[in-house]
Chain A
Amino acid sequence: MDDRGIRRVVLAGFLLALTLLLVFTRVGMIPMPTPAGNATVAHIPAIVGGLLEGPLVGLIVGLGLGFASFVNATVPMFKDPMVAIMPRLFIGVVAALVYAGVRRLDKRGLLAIGVAMLLLLLGASWQLGRERPIMGVIWAAVALAAAAALWFWLQREDVALVRVGIAAGAGSLTNTVLVLGMAVVRAYLTLPVAAGIGLTHGLPEMIVSALITIGVVAAVRNLGGRRRRQAKRSSAMSGRKGG
């Protein structure tokens, strides 16, 4: 095994341990004002593994997450390996693949993809809106808000960090969509309930995991020079604020 191989294996082991810790201690639970209770950050190690060391590490950590949530499950839904384990395999893989895809893109390329996604989502909301107008409007509003957020973010932030954030968001979205999708397929939830959970939990989870992953990857890879330089300059001028 070469050096890279050893690092991969060891990092996968550590991230697996972190996943188990987050699942079993409930430290990674964010209380939410919805019936389902908590948003989770336990899938972030899988995303980080995928981003730092490639899809294989993401897959292994995802498998660990699935197994842990399967063992730890308190609701019948997650005692089903098709819901608890299978979807989790794809979190790190998707994050790694999306990252590999956007890695070479500059700001203009990211904007172009953002515009393409926006058009696609608006088309989908038009289709949806013809049958259920309210859902269509909500969908379109979410799409527009996401596009606006991406645009503002690209203006303010280092492109390297935006790439990481996009990949992390995609990984988190994979978790939400596949778990809820399998829950619907296996008849634990009905489609409207799943859609509701997806909107109220999936979106905050996505944002939180993007932010945490950015924090982690920026720290270990030394990214985000622009923001950090700015922060240094402003703290030098105004003195450090508490917190």
Chain B
Amino acid sequence: MAGLEGLRHVSIGRYVPRDSPVHRLDPRVKVGGLGVLVMLVAVLSGISGLAMLTLAMLALTLLARIGLRYMWSSIRPALPIIIVLLLLQLLYTPAQPDDRILLAWGAIRLTWPALRLVIVALLRFAALMLAVGVLTGSTTSGALIRGVEGLLRPLVRLGLPAHELALVGSVALRFLPLLGEQLESIAMAQASRGLAETRGRWHLVANARRVAQTIVPLFVDVYRRSEELALAMQARCYNGGKGRTHLIEQHLVGQDWLALAALTLLAALAIWLQRLP
């Protein structure tokens, strides 16, 4: 049960309050920018283009004054697994006869294509980690929701329920800490009834049962709470996004257009760099 303390402080990519140009950007620009970056990173496979994107994200992190230590602390726990996996990939990618061999040592052959794959995977990982980190570090959850809703607004005419989707997101973020607390108390209640601790890997059934005994009550609790919330909203005559106005009206100002221009330039450059190896 040791890992359960502090569950209530669950947060996705903690917000870092700073006064920076990135923090002041319109959330729609930031969310859309992340979308474009994710697509670029997934599609591009050239080392130079990905390296350029990674450097750009690094610069953005510095500009947002989020601090590299914060970024590093979110990557560090994963580092051993990443290194082992990349080493495995490096050594076990089957060599084609005409590959350039960089290093031959006993049965181990290090080929250029294998090394290339590993570098590409690392760069993709770094660029995405930084991009997600900058977004969640520089945007409050409320602004994030507003950004998503604003981006989806044009699709309302096609029948997409933008407001409702944003509401789903805000309910989730609002109740996440509460559910964390609930999970903690369920786990403690079950432990006090003598529910077994996590056992070794071979105690499959015992482990599955332990997880089930914690999660099923949580699910039932979730269902009960959601019924209550829906009833409360009905009682207050909530009727969705139709004809709703907002306290904060979002307008794109100079810096937002500047950021969009920079993003376009970055994307064009990255695609152009794709022609290099």
Neighbour of A12 across the interface among B13, B168, B211, CB < 8 A: B168
Residue of A nearest to B178 (CB): A17
Chain B residues positioned under 8 Å from A237 (CB to CB): none
Docked pose: A175 CA to B200 CA in angstroms: 26
Docked pose: A14 CA to B173 CA in angstroms: 9
- Contacting B at CB under 8 A, from A9-43, are 9-18, 20-22, 24-33, 39, 41
Neighbour of A25 across the interface among B175, B180, B220, CB < 8 A: B180
Neighbour of A5 across the interface among B78, B200, B226, B240, CB < 8 A: B240
- Contacting B at CB under 8 A, from A195-241, are 204, 208, 211-212, 215-216, 219-220
Report the minimal beta-carbon distance from B34 to chain A, rounded to whole angstroms.
11
- Contacting A at CB under 8 A, from B38-57, are 38, 42
Task: Please state if A30 and B82 are interface contacts (CB–CB under 8 Å).
Answer: no
Task: Please state if B215 and A41 are interface contacts (CB–CB under 8 Å).
Answer: yes
Task: Please state if A18 and B219 are interface contacts (CB–CB under 8 Å).
Answer: yes
Residue of A nearest to B86 (CB): A76
Chain B residues positioned under 8 Å from A80 (CB to CB): 42, 124
Neighbour of A64 across the interface among B42, B172, B226, CB < 8 A: B172
If A7-B227, A10-B226, A13-B171 touch, does A21 touch B176 (CB 8 Å cutoff)?
yes
- Contacting B at CB under 8 A, from A73-102, are 74-76, 79-82
Interface residues on B, range: 35 or more
Docked pose: A52 CA to B13 CA in angstroms: 30
B contact face: mostly helix, strand, loop, or mixed: helix
Task: Please state if B223 and A13 are interface contacts (CB–CB under 8 Å).
Answer: no
Task: Please state if B82 and A25 are interface contacts (CB–CB under 8 Å).
Answer: no
If A15-B222, A79-B125, A216-B220 touch, does A30 touch B207 (CB 8 Å cutoff)?
yes
Docked pose: A36 CA to B201 CA in angstroms: 12
Chain A residues positioned under 8 Å from B78 (CB to CB): 74
Asked if B165 lies at the interface with its beta carbon under 8 angstroms from chain A, I say: yes
Docked pose: A6 CA to B240 CA in angstroms: 8
Docked pose: A5 CA to B167 CA in angstroms: 12
Asked if B269 lies at the interface with its beta carbon under 8 angstroms from chain A, I say: no
Chain A residues positioned under 8 Å from B238 (CB to CB): 1, 6
Task: Please state if A219 and B216 are interface contacts (CB–CB under 8 Å).
Answer: yes
A contact face: mostly helix, strand, loop, or mixed: helix
Report the minimal beta-carbon distance from B28 to chain A, rounded to whole angstroms.
18
Chain B residues positioned under 8 Å from A110 (CB to CB): none
Interface string of A154-178 (1 = CB under 8 A from B): 0000000000000000000000000
Report the minimal beta-carbon distance from B132 to chain A, rounded to whole angstroms.
5
Report the minimal beta-carbon distance from A9 to chain B, rounded to whole angstroms.
5
Interface string of B130-166 (1 = CB under 8 A from A): 0010000000000000000000000000000000110
Neighbour of B220 across the interface among A11, A30, A220, CB < 8 A: A220
Report the minimal beta-carbon distance from A190 to chain B, rounded to whole angstroms.
9
Docked pose: A204 CA to B207 CA in angstroms: 12
Neighbour of B216 across the interface among A21, A30, A212, CB < 8 A: A212
8 contacting pairs across A/B (C-beta < 8 A): A6-B234, A7-B230, A9-B168, A13-B167, A15-B222, A21-B176, A76-B125, A216-B223
Could you tell me which B residues sit within 8 Å of A by CB distance?
Answer: 3-4, 7, 10, 12-13, 38, 42, 77-78, 81-82, 85-86, 121-122, 124-125, 128-129, 132, 164-165, 167-176, 179-180, 183, 187, 194, 198-202, 204, 207-208, 211-212, 214-216, 218-220, 222-223, 225-227, 229-230, 233-234, 238-240, 242
Known pairs A1-B164, A25-B10, A60-B165; list 17 more (Cβ under 8 Å): A3-B234, A5-B164, A5-B240, A12-B171, A13-B168, A14-B229, A16-B172, A17-B222, A25-B183, A28-B215, A29-B211, A33-B202, A76-B86, A79-B124, A79-B125, A80-B124, A212-B219
